A and B are shown apart, each in its own frame.
Chain A
């Protein structure tokens, strides 16, 4: 198998030294984490590696030597480096070498135990893969969606070689604590040695942000146990919510808009009631050319008209207090835009309460009619519903039962168009109100469940959320090892939203379209926001 050496780009310009990292035998890949510079004492290097291994549970070891030839005559260095393989034995021993001013490197991997047989060459083919250590350290790999019948344990076992690289770098943070510019027994080179911020102000800001971050972390830890990203998303959503609510509040309370709203509300309610009255007059006549049963029509029409008259009286009774109520409700917008939207949805529900009542009356009448019709239809055919067995059985009726049943059946059939029309009209009105309320609920859900922090992270620091990696082949010369650049492939926005969305606490209607149509046809009442476990009517 081709030997893959993952080399951090920050160490490409480092001085000669020892390569420290982890060897993954299954993938035949060596992940280089840092370079140890001269002078060093082998015992101290081994001690440091043992410490790191204990702290991070990653098998860190000396993998080989790194030689950066800056001057022409450094042959002695080469021999010295070869001698090191005797002190730090590792199988296989990597030797990476870079000439000054040359882009192409030379790599050798020697196995000592395997005897050089003609079939298997002693020096393997080596492939160099450069990676940005800081980005790989900070990024989080998101594997593609697992199959539904996948066990969680299997996923970690079958994690590919690249996940092992990410894992190794992420867990070896202990190794990155001391660096070549620090005073210590061992001088290392890794991503921390790449350079510090040039501006003093940025440095000071970084130092000052420490306690602020600590405070934020304390606040976040007060929220119940959830992953950091979820807490951050929730916090940003709440901030945005409150900010939008305060903007709405300032807009509402300026220029006497509340007064204008209150003045407009009662005429609008009057207008709606007038339109309903016109509609009922139309139904009581000959709506769309259909001929209705005069008596039933008049009864139902007058009943609903009286209802509307009562409703208008209540609205007029309330009109002096509306402005005060609206002003106080408007204050609630400071709690957040979602609160204001929910209150709006409730106000709509209250103001259209008469439509809800009409719908219930119409539906109940229609439901009773349909029940009566179906049972009498069975009687007409000589059958009966067996409640015990929950099925239709044949039954022999007496003559007088049949006569009365047939009579009632014909009466109900002829009255059906009238009732059905009233039911249809009021159901449509009710569905309109439900649709408006549903749209408001959708908007509230959107504001609550959109993972804004994760989206912002994807926009500004795309390497933090990784869907995978991508490779680019760098300039190549025949006879030299292949050089690849490994870059992070960021997660697409749709997957960010899908993975990080907060659970929406809104009650979504749980019926499918088919059951909805069935309920509408049989006149059963529809409760759009009832949860599944609630008591059924």
Chain B
């Protein structure tokens, strides 16, 4: 079962949330970030090239111009491969674990999988981020030493940063699975 809805992120950009229910014990949430805008790309390229041309008129060395082109290309490739995240996915499988995937604009995917035995709970937390107060979804991990303690907080959807309404949808769905998981693991 697939459903798509559009939300907005904390800066006002448009996000799309895609929900896939594969089975009662497996659900996937995919948040896609706003794409790289042509306007900002053009602005950055023009700034760099104008600065290089200004330096060229001062120094009369043509190597500056070729260096500027090279730097722009490398910078764009590096940005697409290491910085710009296109989509963030949360896959929750009952009694197996929670998997978070970030796919970059160049096609690279980086995945983290957390086993269900380590997950204590999934909560929505409030944080002060620059000059705003935002909500973010995070996974609490159990502390192996102390049974009621929390060893780590893993935030989810860090680049997309959706607003509270989107987070509530994801939270409710995940809590259904976690509740079922806790019920079955409590009983032998």
Interface of A with B (CB < 8 Å)?
1-2, 4, 27-28, 125, 127, 129, 147, 149-150, 154, 158, 160-162, 468-471, 473, 476, 482, 484, 489
In the complex, which residues of chain B have a beta carbon less than 8 angstroms from the beta carbon of A2?
25, 94-96, 184
Q: Which of B24, B28, B111 contacts A470 (CB 8 A)?
A: B111
User: Which of B36-44, B46-54, B113-121 lies at the interface with chain A?
Assistant: B113-121
Known contacts A150-B145, A158-B144; is A471 also within 8 Å of B184 by CB?
no
Distance A489 CA – B102 CA, assembled complex (angstroms)? 13
> Whole-angstrom distance from the CB of A135 to the nearest CB of chain B?
16
> Whole-angstrom distance from the CB of B52 to the nearest CB of chain A?
31
> Whole-angstrom distance from the CB of B1 to the nearest CB of chain A?
9
Give the interface size class of chain B. Answer: 20 to 34
> Whole-angstrom distance from the CB of A107 to the nearest CB of chain B?
13
In the complex, are the beta carbons of B185 and A489 less than 8 A apart? no
Distance A149 CA – B144 CA, assembled complex (angstroms)? 11
Nearest 5 Cβ contacts at the A-B interface: A160-B115, A470-B111, A1-B184, A482-B23, A2-B95
Q: Which of B23, B94, B101, B115 contacts A161 (CB 8 A)?
A: B115
Identify whether the interface residues of B are mostly helix, strand, loop, or mixed. strand
> Whole-angstrom distance from the CB of A267 to the nearest CB of chain B?
32
Q: Which of A1, A160, A162 has the most CB of B within 10 A?
A: A1
> Whole-angstrom distance from the CB of A519 to the nearest CB of chain B?
40
Q: Mark B71-106, 1 if CB is under 8 A from A, else 0.
A: 000000000000000000001011110010100000
Distance A491 CA – B50 CA, assembled complex (angstroms)? 42
Known contacts A149-B145, A150-B145; is A476 also within 8 Å of B23 by CB?
yes
| B57 at the binding interface (Cβ < 8 Å) | no
> Whole-angstrom distance from the CB of A521 to the nearest CB of chain B?
40
In the complex, which residues of chain B have a beta carbon less than 8 angstroms from the beta carbon of A158?
117, 144
Known contacts A1-B185, A158-B144, A476-B23; is A127 also within 8 Å of B96 by CB?
yes
In the complex, are the beta carbons of A147 and B99 less than 8 A apart? no
User: Which chain B residue shows the least CB distance to A479?
Assistant: B23
In the complex, are the beta carbons of B25 and A470 less than 8 A apart? no
> Whole-angstrom distance from the CB of B140 to the nearest CB of chain A?
16
In the complex, which residues of chain A have a beta carbon less than 8 angstroms from the beta carbon of B99?
470-471
User: Which chain B residue shows the least CB distance to A483?
Assistant: B22
In the complex, are the beta carbons of B95 and A482 less than 8 A apart? no
In the complex, which residues of chain A have a beta carbon less than 8 angstroms from the beta carbon of B23?
476, 482
| B6 at the binding interface (Cβ < 8 Å) | no
| B125 at the binding interface (Cβ < 8 Å) | no
> Whole-angstrom distance from the CB of B144 to the nearest CB of chain A?
5
In the complex, which residues of chain B have a beta carbon less than 8 angstroms from the beta carbon of A471?
91, 93, 96, 99, 113
User: Which chain A residue shows the least CB distance to B23?
Assistant: A482
Q: Mark B134-154, 1 if CB is under 8 A from A, else 0.
A: 000000000011000001000
Known contacts A150-B144, A482-B22; is A162 also within 8 Å of B111 by CB?
no
Q: Which of A28, A149, A160, A482 contacts B117 (CB 8 A)?
A: A160
Known contacts A1-B95, A4-B96, A147-B145; is A468 also within 8 Å of B113 by CB?
yes
Q: A147-B144, A160-B117, A470-B99 are in contact. List 20 more A-B contacts (CB 8 A).
A: A2-B94, A2-B95, A125-B24, A127-B26, A127-B96, A129-B96, A154-B144, A160-B115, A160-B118, A468-B112, A469-B113, A470-B113, A471-B93, A471-B96, A473-B22, A473-B28, A473-B91, A476-B23, A482-B22, A489-B113
In the complex, which residues of chain A have a beta carbon less than 8 angstroms from the beta carbon of B101?
470
In the complex, which residues of chain B have a beta carbon less than 8 angstroms from the beta carbon of A4?
95-96
In the complex, are the beta carbons of A162 and B93 less than 8 A apart? no
In the complex, are the beta carbons of A476 and B22 less than 8 A apart? yes
In the complex, which residues of chain A have a beta carbon less than 8 angstroms from the beta carbon of B25?
2, 125, 127, 482
A-B contact pairs, 12 of them (CB 8 A): A1-B185, A27-B95, A28-B95, A125-B24, A127-B26, A150-B145, A154-B145, A158-B144, A160-B117, A160-B118, A162-B115, A473-B28
In the complex, which residues of chain A have a beta carbon less than 8 angstroms from the beta carbon of B91?
471, 473
User: Which chain B residue shows the least CB distance to A157?
Assistant: B144
Distance A473 CA – B99 CA, assembled complex (angstroms)? 11
In the complex, are the beta carbons of B26 and A473 less than 8 A apart? yes
In the complex, which residues of chain B have a beta carbon less than 8 angstroms from the beta carbon of A473?
22, 26, 28, 91
